[in-house]
Chain A
Amino acid sequence: MIRLIERLGRFIISFFRNGVAVAEETGRILLLLSATLKQLIIPPFEFANIFKQMLEVGVRSVPVVMVTAIFTGMVFALQTYTGFKRFGAETLVGTVVALSMTRELGPVLTGLIVSGRAGAAMAAELGTMRVTEQIDALETLATNPVKYLIVPRFVAGLIMMPALSVCADIIGIIGGYFITVGLFKTSSVVYWNQTWNYLESADIYNGLIKACFFGGAISIISSYKGFYTSGGAEGVGKATTGAVVLSSMTILISDYFLSSWLFN
């Protein structure tokens, strides 16, 4: 009995300790976000760095996002077609693919890929800069590291995530077309009609609002993990893993709440 109470006590202590740690980390991320927003609006603007990061986060992620989107669209059409055929609704495949790509799969899958690709790179790069004192060196050279390093990554995330998401939407729908029309020999006119008839502009722009939010979240979380790295090479490894895990979790959790808010 006493042992049970002891265990319960330990559990409660560790639960609250973890709770405090989570709250502390969230607070620090928000502080970094506010510092970033402040530096974002103060001139001079770091255009060269912003373009460099847009290339890194956006353009270089295009191939992997395309491959993911086309196969997601294809498998979605494949599964929906087989399922819907059971009750004779196979003409609706185009609608289902278009709605799921624009509202959910486009932004979320792109977010997960960008967090694994660009987010990990941000954490590793900033983490290495921290442990090799390059961030301190920036400060001694009278350069604000938040302005120089984090603002460009944040802006790149905000702009490039929706852009990648639009590409994913289109390619996903084309992937669905290949399967529905190419494999299952449904009429191409039916597929496109079903796609356009039921797709509303709100589906697209609400999806893009989500993508924009995910982009900002990935950048700020990954930058935070990298910027506050300590403990040498091991620390950089931990920061990189932490960045991918935390930004993926943030995307999946916030996706639910954003969707219930935006689409209702």
Chain B
Amino acid sequence: MIRLDEVYKAFNSNHVLTGTSFVVKKGESRVVIGGSGSGKSVILKHIVGILKPDRGRVLIDDLDIAGLKEHDLYEIRKKFGMLFQMAALFDSMSVWENVGFAISRKGTLKPAEIKEISIEKLKLVGLVNVENLMPSELSGGMKKRVGLARAIAHEPEILLYDEPTTGLDPITADAINDLIVDLRERLKVTSVAITHDMHSSYKIADSISMLYQGKIIATGTPDEIRNTANPIVRQFITGSAVGPIKVEGVNNERTVNRA
């Protein structure tokens, strides 16, 4: 279970999280939606302990990770697998070395065995005969798949997705969505995804939360969110520039008048 309890985080004078709270139950697939720069990535980085809250608690299976010692924090991280926005593959390593990285760090298996496991994990994400390529030789969609294979290679209990479909064409994006749903069913993991892609959210989520001005302002099933009466959520999911959410640096009235 993942629980954020009144988390506050500021970078200099920029208050990003101002009392963010939510709970993700074991086995649940949660999507957090919100505008660009609203602090969605900051939430993920708190869950995995890369950032520490200024105030509030982050609990993973009832353990407050903000207070953990460095060594224990790295132990807890073994429960996680994370897919980064630009995949963040290690570009000095081949595809199979990337996928097998977490396993090789344990130091118990031989390289040949690690390679075998990596090839298996790559098959799970629909990739074959790519294990000896370097990340620079892959397309954007393939990089995401390799990133996903790397995230699941050490059999984590919790998967975190940072904008899994951003920067992909609609067909590749949908293939990634299918993959996420498929992995969830097969591996029975808890997952948190952040995105502003509503099509993707409806497809992969059990429940959706909306982050606005540092707080979670609404949580519900995809259907509840789709039919929400909350004007802020409504504006976001319909993707309108007109409404209570102001687009930074854009004069809404003029935009409306021109239209």
Query: Which residues of A does B touch, CB under 8 Å?
Result: 44, 129, 132-134, 136-137, 139-144
Interface-centre pick from B86, B88, B107 (highest chain A CB count, 10 A): B88
Interface residues of B (CB under 8 A from A): 45, 48-50, 70, 74-75, 77-78, 80-82, 84-86, 88-91, 101-102, 105, 107, 150, 154, 160
Task: Find chain B residues with CB under 8 A from A140 CB.
Answer: 48, 50, 77, 80-82, 160
Enumerate chain A residues within 8 angstroms of B75, measured Cβ to Cβ.
142
Q: In the complex the two chains form, what is the Cα distance from A132 to B90 in whole Å? A: 9
Residues of A within 8 A of B84 (CB): 133, 136-137
Query: Which residue of the partner chain B has the closest CB to A140?
Result: B82
Q: Which residue of B lies closest to A134 (CB)?
A: B88
Is the Cβ of B78 less than 8 Å from the Cβ of A134?
A: no
Chain A to chain B: the 3 pairs with minimum beta-carbon distance, closest first? A133-B88, A137-B88, A140-B82
Are A133 and B81 in contact, CB atoms less than 8 angstroms apart?
Answer: no
**Of A44, A134, A136, A139, the contact of B91 (CB 8 Å cutoff):** A134
Residues of B with C-beta under 8 A to A129: 90
A-B contacts counted at CB < 8 A amount to 51
In the bound complex, what is the Cα–Cα distance between A44 and B77 (angstroms)? Answer: 18
Knowing A141-B101, A142-B105, A144-B70, say if A136 contacts B88 (CB, 8 Å). yes
Closest residue to B160 on the A side, CB-wise? Answer: A140
Do B48 and A142 touch (CB < 8 A)?
A: no
Q: What are 7 A-B interface contacts by the 8 Å CB criterion? A: A133-B88, A134-B91, A136-B50, A136-B88, A137-B90, A142-B102, A143-B102
Chain A nearest CB from B96 CB (Å) reads 15
A108 to B50 CA separation, bound complex (whole angstroms): 39
CA distance A136 to B47 in the complex (A): 13
Q: In the complex, how many angstroms separate the beta carbon of A134 from the nearest chain B beta carbon? A: 5
> Which residue among A136, A137, A141 has the maximum number of chain B CB atoms within 10 Å of its CB?
A141
Contacts of B89 in A (CB 8 A): 134, 137
* Interface pair B45/A142, CB less than 8 Å apart: no
- Closest CB of chain B to A24's CB: distance in Å? 14
C-alpha gap A144/B74 in the complex (Å)? 8
| Distance of A129 Cα from B92 Cα, bound (Å) | 10
Chain A residues whose CB sits within 8 angstroms of the CB of B101 once the complex forms: 141, 143
